[in-house]
Amino acid sequence: MVVNFNPGLVRMELEARALAAMRLPPPPAAAALDSLSTALAHARPLQQVASFHNTLGERMIPSTRPMMLQAALDLSNLVQDQKAVYWDDVEQLSNYTDKLKKIVLKLETQNTYLTGQHVAIRNIVQKLIDTELLAKQSEWKKGVKDMRDIIDTVESNGYKNTELWRSHWDWQLYKAS
Protein backbone atom coordinates (compact mmCIF):
# COMPACT_ATOMS: atom_id res chain seq x y z
CA MET A 1 0.00 0.00 0.00
CA VAL A 2 1.33 3.40 -0.96
CA VAL A 3 0.13 6.84 0.13
CA ASN A 4 1.12 9.54 -2.34
CA PHE A 5 1.47 13.03 -0.97
CA ASN A 6 4.26 15.52 -0.97
CA PRO A 7 6.00 15.56 2.44
CA GLY A 8 7.07 19.12 1.66
CA LEU A 9 3.43 20.14 2.10
CA VAL A 10 3.55 19.01 5.71
CA ARG A 11 6.67 21.10 6.30
CA MET A 12 5.10 24.06 4.52
CA GLU A 13 1.97 23.78 6.67
CA LEU A 14 4.06 23.67 9.86
CA GLU A 15 6.05 26.71 8.76
CA ALA A 16 2.87 28.65 7.95
CA ARG A 17 1.45 27.79 11.38
CA ALA A 18 4.71 28.87 13.03
CA LEU A 19 4.57 32.20 11.18
CA ALA A 20 0.96 32.67 12.21
CA ALA A 21 1.85 31.87 15.84
CA MET A 22 4.53 34.60 15.70
CA ARG A 23 1.90 36.97 14.24
CA LEU A 24 3.86 37.41 11.02
CA PRO A 25 2.08 37.77 7.68
CA PRO A 26 1.37 34.41 6.04
CA PRO A 27 3.14 33.48 2.81
CA PRO A 28 1.19 34.01 -0.43
CA ALA A 29 0.44 30.29 -0.77
CA ALA A 30 -1.05 30.13 2.76
CA ALA A 31 -4.59 30.50 1.45
CA ALA A 32 -4.25 27.15 -0.27
CA LEU A 33 -2.91 25.62 2.95
CA ASP A 34 -6.30 25.83 4.64
CA SER A 35 -7.76 23.34 2.18
CA LEU A 36 -4.61 21.22 2.40
CA SER A 37 -4.80 21.05 6.20
CA THR A 38 -7.87 18.83 6.03
CA ALA A 39 -6.24 16.47 3.55
CA LEU A 40 -2.99 16.40 5.51
CA ALA A 41 -4.93 15.48 8.63
CA HIS A 42 -5.84 12.26 6.78
CA ALA A 43 -2.40 11.78 5.25
CA ARG A 44 -0.71 10.93 8.55
CA PRO A 45 -3.19 8.19 9.56
CA LEU A 46 -3.14 6.82 6.02
CA GLN A 47 0.66 6.72 6.15
CA GLN A 48 0.45 4.79 9.44
CA VAL A 49 -2.07 2.35 7.97
CA ALA A 50 0.14 1.84 4.92
CA SER A 51 3.14 1.16 7.14
CA PHE A 52 1.09 -1.31 9.21
CA HIS A 53 -0.23 -3.01 6.07
CA ASN A 54 3.23 -3.30 4.53
CA THR A 55 4.82 -4.78 7.67
CA LEU A 56 1.90 -6.89 8.88
CA GLY A 57 3.46 -10.23 7.95
CA GLU A 58 6.58 -9.41 9.93
CA ARG A 59 4.56 -8.52 13.03
CA MET A 60 2.67 -11.80 13.17
CA ILE A 61 3.94 -15.00 14.75
CA PRO A 62 3.98 -17.46 11.82
CA SER A 63 1.88 -20.12 13.56
CA THR A 64 -0.84 -17.58 14.45
CA ARG A 65 -1.22 -16.15 10.94
CA PRO A 66 -4.02 -18.53 9.88
CA MET A 67 -6.06 -17.44 12.89
CA MET A 68 -6.01 -13.82 11.67
CA LEU A 69 -6.55 -14.73 8.03
CA GLN A 70 -10.06 -13.30 7.69
CA ALA A 71 -9.18 -9.91 9.15
CA ALA A 72 -6.02 -9.75 7.01
CA LEU A 73 -8.05 -10.61 3.91
CA ASP A 74 -10.58 -7.90 4.81
CA LEU A 75 -7.78 -5.34 4.99
CA SER A 76 -6.21 -6.57 1.78
CA ASN A 77 -9.56 -6.51 -0.05
CA LEU A 78 -10.29 -2.99 1.15
CA VAL A 79 -6.89 -1.81 -0.04
CA GLN A 80 -7.06 -3.61 -3.40
CA ASP A 81 -10.72 -2.96 -4.21
CA GLN A 82 -10.58 0.74 -3.43
CA LYS A 83 -10.46 2.96 -6.43
CA ALA A 84 -8.23 6.01 -6.31
CA VAL A 85 -8.95 8.34 -3.41
CA TYR A 86 -8.25 11.99 -4.10
CA TRP A 87 -7.10 14.49 -1.52
CA ASP A 88 -9.70 17.09 -2.52
CA ASP A 89 -12.65 14.74 -1.86
CA VAL A 90 -12.63 15.07 1.93
CA GLU A 91 -15.74 12.95 2.53
CA GLN A 92 -14.44 10.01 0.50
CA LEU A 93 -11.02 10.39 2.12
CA SER A 94 -12.55 10.45 5.60
CA ASN A 95 -14.72 7.38 4.96
CA TYR A 96 -11.82 5.40 3.52
CA THR A 97 -9.51 6.39 6.38
CA ASP A 98 -12.13 5.39 8.96
CA LYS A 99 -12.67 1.98 7.32
CA LEU A 100 -8.94 1.33 7.21
CA LYS A 101 -8.43 2.40 10.82
CA LYS A 102 -11.23 0.08 11.96
CA ILE A 103 -9.77 -2.97 10.22
CA VAL A 104 -6.21 -2.15 11.31
CA LEU A 105 -7.36 -1.79 14.91
CA LYS A 106 -9.09 -5.18 14.69
CA LEU A 107 -5.95 -6.81 13.29
CA GLU A 108 -3.67 -5.17 15.83
CA THR A 109 -5.97 -6.23 18.67
CA GLN A 110 -6.05 -9.82 17.39
CA ASN A 111 -2.29 -9.89 16.96
CA THR A 112 -1.68 -8.51 20.45
CA TYR A 113 -4.09 -11.01 22.01
CA LEU A 114 -2.67 -14.01 20.16
CA THR A 115 0.91 -12.95 20.88
CA GLY A 116 0.05 -12.75 24.58
CA GLN A 117 -1.46 -16.23 24.52
CA HIS A 118 1.52 -17.54 22.57
CA VAL A 119 3.92 -16.11 25.16
CA ALA A 120 1.87 -17.60 28.00
CA ILE A 121 2.13 -21.07 26.44
CA ARG A 122 5.84 -20.51 25.73
CA ASN A 123 6.39 -19.79 29.43
CA ILE A 124 4.63 -23.02 30.38
CA VAL A 125 6.76 -25.00 27.92
CA GLN A 126 9.92 -23.35 29.24
CA LYS A 127 8.99 -24.51 32.76
CA LEU A 128 8.34 -28.02 31.47
CA ILE A 129 11.74 -28.14 29.79
CA ASP A 130 13.32 -27.78 33.22
CA THR A 131 10.98 -30.35 34.78
CA GLU A 132 11.80 -34.06 34.75
CA LEU A 133 8.88 -35.86 33.07
CA LEU A 134 9.08 -39.15 34.98
CA ALA A 135 9.89 -37.65 38.36
CA LYS A 136 7.27 -34.87 38.31
CA GLN A 137 4.39 -36.16 36.21
CA SER A 138 1.81 -34.11 38.09
CA GLU A 139 3.61 -30.87 37.12
CA TRP A 140 3.72 -32.02 33.50
CA LYS A 141 0.01 -32.88 33.54
CA LYS A 142 -0.80 -29.49 35.04
CA GLY A 143 1.35 -27.72 32.43
CA VAL A 144 -0.25 -29.61 29.54
CA LYS A 145 -3.72 -28.92 30.98
CA ASP A 146 -2.89 -25.20 31.28
CA MET A 147 -1.75 -25.17 27.65
CA ARG A 148 -4.94 -26.87 26.51
CA ASP A 149 -7.02 -24.43 28.55
CA ILE A 150 -5.32 -21.47 26.86
CA ILE A 151 -5.87 -22.95 23.40
CA ASP A 152 -9.50 -23.76 24.22
CA THR A 153 -10.02 -20.20 25.46
CA VAL A 154 -8.56 -18.80 22.23
CA GLU A 155 -10.89 -21.03 20.20
CA SER A 156 -13.90 -20.10 22.34
CA ASN A 157 -13.10 -16.43 21.60
CA GLY A 158 -13.90 -17.14 17.96
CA TYR A 159 -10.47 -17.84 16.50
CA LYS A 160 -10.50 -20.53 13.85
CA ASN A 161 -7.72 -22.26 11.89
CA THR A 162 -5.78 -23.15 15.03
CA GLU A 163 -4.33 -26.36 13.57
CA LEU A 164 -0.92 -24.86 12.73
CA TRP A 165 -0.67 -23.24 16.16
CA ARG A 166 -1.66 -26.48 17.88
CA SER A 167 0.87 -28.50 15.89
CA HIS A 168 3.56 -25.93 16.68
CA TRP A 169 2.95 -26.36 20.41
CA ASP A 170 2.64 -30.15 20.10
CA TRP A 171 6.08 -30.15 18.52
CA GLN A 172 7.52 -27.87 21.19
CA LEU A 173 6.03 -30.08 23.88
CA TYR A 174 7.48 -33.18 22.22
CA LYS A 175 10.92 -31.53 22.17
CA ALA A 176 10.56 -30.57 25.84
CA SER A 177 9.85 -34.16 26.90
Mean pLDDT by 10 residues, the chain (177 residues): 64 75 74 68 79 81 93 85 74 86 92 96 92 85 95 95 94 88
The answer to the question of residue 141 being in a domain is yes
Any idea what the Cα angle at residue 54 is, between residues 51 and 57, rounded to 5°?
Answer: 125
Judge whether 128 lies within some domain.
yes
Q: Is the pTM of this model over 0.85?
A: no
- The answer to whether 1 and 53 are in contact (CB under 8 A) is yes
**CB distance 77 to 103 below 8 Å:** no
The answer to whether position 15 is within a domain reads: yes
Domain presence at residue 2: no
Nearest Cα neighbor of 91 from 164, 42, 150, 143 is 42
Residue 1 located in a structural domain: no
Residue 5: predicted pLDDT: 64
Say how many domains are in the chain. Answer: 1
Structural domain containing residue 167: 7-176
Within a domain: residue 26? yes
Q: Give the integer Cα–Cα distance in Å for 40 and 90.
A: 10
In terms of C-beta density within 10 A (0-12 exposed, 13-18 middle, 19 or more buried), how is residue 10 classed?
Answer: middle
Domain presence at residue 100? yes
The answer to whether residue 167 sits within a structural domain is: yes
> Residue 2's pLDDT is what?
59
